[in-house]
Structure 1
Amino acid sequence: MVHRLTREQARRIALHGQLLTAERPAGVVETIDALTILPIDPTSAIAPSVDLILWSRLGWPYQPADLVRLFEEDRAVFEWGGFYRAMTDLPLLLPEMRRRPESAQAREWLAANDAFRRETLARLRAEGPLHASEVPDTAQVSWRSSGWTNNRNSQQLLELLVLCGDVAVASRDAAGRLFDVADRVYPREVPEVSDEDAARERAERRLAAFGIARAKGLAQPIEPISVGELGEEAVVDGVDGVWRVDPEALAAADDFVPRTALLSPLDRAVFDRRRLEELFAYEYVLEMYKPAAKRRWGYFALPVLHGDRFVGKLDAKADRKAGVLRIHALHEDEPFDDGTRGAVEAEIRDLARWLGLAPVGAGFG
């Protein structure tokens, strides 16, 4: 059976999977569990992406301290591969951890530095959690790279040991991540899941989070976006090719209750730019790496969702010293009607209030 979907239906299925309807999730862990991952990024032009993503789903009840508590104290959330994840997903990651590192260079480097590895694990067990800067570099062979990791042996060792599952990120502070032996961060008793079952369940959860996706997506180094042949086949009017759709999400197209949201540029709802253009006819590029003169929408412009369409970009910056959220521009892809403008401006005010700032500029304050 091939499902024939309109673009509107496909959009609504996608937004339902990403928890971007009027029905908000119950809490932080439930949100991370449904989305499967939260991308960690240090950029904080307005707020860190993890916090923007959670606020855009949960609204004002969410506070960054909630995530910190769940990560550092309750251990309901863990960090791996540059993402926060629900701890219930750990059994699905362990088979992949056992395969790491994947590159021959990394495996050979670890083998050549076995004494360094054992000394580091012993130090973490005796003294941890520790920053990478607190781990003595006793490498027998230096790490060679054309990038910033060249000769940063303690940092590189810890990164690899986290990927292997021997070490875990225990917490974060102003100086960065603190590392500890994994059995003091992860649960000691974890269900055993085969490689095949883990890969399938991760893909099933990925499809549920996307709602609708291509069988094969853009290659990613840590967290894939492909879903294989899971779900059911679908075609979307006006869009070439075949899609896979989560059968449980099909009803979302009819039950969709819209709302307005401001998203992080790193949000998985907008991460796949090709999918974004195909389903939403929405063009977006993160311009923080462009020279200022070449930016159309701003350094860290937030995609603006209204109903089942992305309608613009918000160029804003949090000026905490002045106590304001500076609205440089609200870019309208097409001129807003009064209802759209009112809903978007209300969401901007909600964002400012959540940040504890006053909105100023571009029609505000």
Structure 2
Amino acid sequence: MSAELNIAEIRKRAVAASLMAPTTLARAIAALGFVQADPIRSPARAQDLILRQRVANYRAGDLERRFAKLGLEEDFLYAYGFMPREVSRLLHPRPDPKGGPHRPTGLAADVLAFVHERGIVHPQDLLDQFGKERAVNGWGGFSKATTRALHSLHFYGLLRVARRRDGIRIYEAASRHEDVQAQAIEPAERLRRLLLLVTGILAPLPQRSLRPTLALLTRGAPGLTGMPAAVQRLLRSGELESGAVEGETYLWPAVANPAARNSVGRKLRFLAPFDPIVWDRRRFEHLWGWDYRFEAYTPGEKRRFGYYAMPLLFGDKVIGWANLAMNKGRLQVETGFAGTKPKGRDFARAFDAEMARMEAFLPRGGD
């Protein structure tokens, strides 16, 4: 099904697709399906900044504290993050590069045996046991060989993250691995569910963003092939819909119009750089008319927005950005605007309210 929409309608859909009335942590993660993780804490980690917009009375670190009780998994979808267990199951089994079942050898096999023996393992335990040999990592730099082994075993479903301690992943053997291998969902159905999930998380998604997004998803589900053809089947069946807006075609799952059931209002929000609302940079520029960039890894002298510039959502428009930092226990903010800074009490009150929410969300003393 194809529809003709205007830019205002697409903006409303983009914001309403993932913003919900504040709910419980479990319900928010179930509704989102995936929460991207990032280790930078400025002033909090990305996963916490994403969840604070959707969970009632959320505090920084709540996800880490409640992870084990919620029955969640950490895994790679189109990025690394947190997800319900049923979503992680769609990503497995992952074949090795030759297409067969992954069978660890060498250090990885030794690490797996060690984890089975110990039960719960901190990365430091492996350094004490196996030493600090270095290996080339996926970024072309160096990581500890044991860390590489942990990441590989986790990726192939042989280990899982049991919990985190101060942001560090603590691993255990994935007892569910054999069950996943034996009772795996048919590949075509896994692919269908994953495509609907990802297009739902990022809805409405520009068609021209689809290819790079599917390339990332292929990393998370390397055994699933034929993604572009599967998207076309979903469009023909009506499970995916599309609409053209000012030269850009958008895709979204065929569900009730989220803009009709969620009213965003005039509330102002500081969004995480990886929030679903702003994740796709092509859509960002098309909907809001300016070019936002995440610059934490950009040399300071070349930054336009700041180290950890958080998009500033006002109503259904992203109008600028904010850099927040704790200094001697006080939250400080520097803002910038794509156009003219809004005037009047409406914006000032909304800004002050968001600052108050952020202060309540952060640990006391800014730790």
**Structure 2 partner of 1:363:** none
1:326 to 1:107, Cα distance in 2 relative to 1, 3 A: farther
**Structure 1 partner of 2:283:** 275
**Structure 2 partner of 1:173:** 165
Q: Structure 1: state its 5+ residue gaps.
A: 360-365
Among candidates 110, 125, 138, match of residue 134 of structure 1: 125
1:148 to 1:134, Cα distance in 2 relative to 1, 3 A: farther
2:231 matches 1:228:
yes
Q: Which amino acid aligns with 1:335?
A: K
Please give the alpha-carbon distance, in whole angstroms, between the structure 1 residues aligned to 2:167 and 2:313.
35
How far is 1:147 from its partner? 4.9
Q: Does the aligned pair in 2 maintain the 1:13–1:249 contact within 8 Å?
A: no
2:144 matches 1:152:
yes
Q: Does the aligned pair in 1 maintain the 2:264–2:316 contact within 8 Å?
A: no
Q: Compute the RMSD of aligned alpha carbons.
A: 3.5
1:353 to 1:118, Cα distance in 2 relative to 1, 3 A: closer
Among candidates 337, 342, 352, match of residue 331 of structure 1: 337
Please give the alpha-carbon distance, in whole angstroms, between the structure 1 residues aligned to 2:60 and 2:178.
22
Secondary structure of the 1:334 match is: coil
Please give the alpha-carbon distance, in whole angstroms, between the structure 2 residues aligned to 1:251 and 1:138.
53
Higher mean alpha-carbon deviation, 289-298 vs 248-257, is at 248-257
**Structure 1 partner of 2:89:** 91
Q: Does the aligned pair in 1 maintain the 2:23–2:54 contact within 8 Å?
A: no
**Structure 2 partner of 1:28:** 25
2:49 matches 1:52:
yes
Secondary structure of the 2:231 match is: coil
Please give the alpha-carbon distance, in whole angstroms, between the structure 1 residues aligned to 2:72 and 2:116.
21
1:18 to 1:254, Cα distance in 2 relative to 1, 3 A: closer
Q: Which amino acid aligns with 1:304?
A: L
Q: Which amino acid aligns with 1:71?
A: F
Higher mean alpha-carbon deviation, 246-255 vs 324-333, is at 246-255
How far is 1:146 from its partner? 8.3
Q: Does the aligned pair in 2 maintain the 1:325–1:357 contact within 8 Å?
A: no
Please give the alpha-carbon distance, in whole angstroms, between the structure 2 residues aligned to 1:146 and 1:190.
30
Please give the alpha-carbon distance, in whole angstroms, between the structure 2 residues aligned to 1:85 and 1:155.
22
How far is 1:166 from its partner? 0.6
How far is 1:189 from its partner? 11
Please give the alpha-carbon distance, in whole angstroms, between the structure 2 residues aligned to 1:142 and 1:107.
27
Identity %: 23
Q: Which amino acid aligns with 2:304?
A: R
Q: TM-score, normalised by structure 2?
A: 0.81
Q: Structure 2: state its 5+ residue gaps.
A: 222-226
Please give the alpha-carbon distance, in whole angstroms, between the structure 2 residues aligned to 1:272 and 1:133.
36
**Structure 2 partner of 1:43:** 40
Question: Residue by residue, what CA displacement relative to the aligned partner does 1:29-49 show, whole Å, maximum 9, x if unpaired?
Answer: 222222222121111111111
Please give the alpha-carbon distance, in whole angstroms, between the structure 2 residues aligned to 1:152 and 1:62.
35
How far is 1:267 from its partner? 1.6
Q: Which amino acid aligns with 1:236?
A: A
Question: Residue by residue, what CA displacement relative to the aligned partner does 1:259-301 show, whole Å, maximum 9, x if unpaired?
Answer: 3221011222212111111123242111222233332222111
Please give the alpha-carbon distance, in whole angstroms, between the structure 2 residues aligned to 1:118 and 1:353.
45
1:187 to 1:87, Cα distance in 2 relative to 1, 3 A: farther
Q: Does the aligned pair in 2 maintain the 1:264–1:303 contact within 8 Å?
A: yes
Among candidates 273, 293, 303, match of residue 285 of structure 1: 293
How far is 1:311 from its partner? 1.2
Q: Does the aligned pair in 2 maintain the 1:70–1:77 contact within 8 Å?
A: no
Please give the alpha-carbon distance, in whole angstroms, between the structure 2 residues aligned to 1:122 and 1:6.
57
Q: Does the aligned pair in 2 maintain the 1:34–1:209 contact within 8 Å?
A: no
- Output aligned runs, 1:239-258, within 5 Å: 240-250=247-257, 252-253=259-260, 256-258=263-265
2:110 matches 1:119:
yes
Please give the alpha-carbon distance, in whole angstroms, between the structure 2 residues aligned to 1:146 and 1:241.
34
Q: Which amino acid aligns with 1:228?
A: V
1:343 to 1:174, Cα distance in 2 relative to 1, 3 A: closer
Secondary structure of the 1:333 match is: coil
| Matched pairs, number | 343
How far is 1:169 from its partner? 1.4
1:64 to 1:343, Cα distance in 2 relative to 1, 3 A: closer
Secondary structure of the 1:204 match is: helix
Please give the alpha-carbon distance, in whole angstroms, between the structure 2 residues aligned to 1:14 and 1:194.
31
Q: Which amino acid aligns with 1:85?
A: M
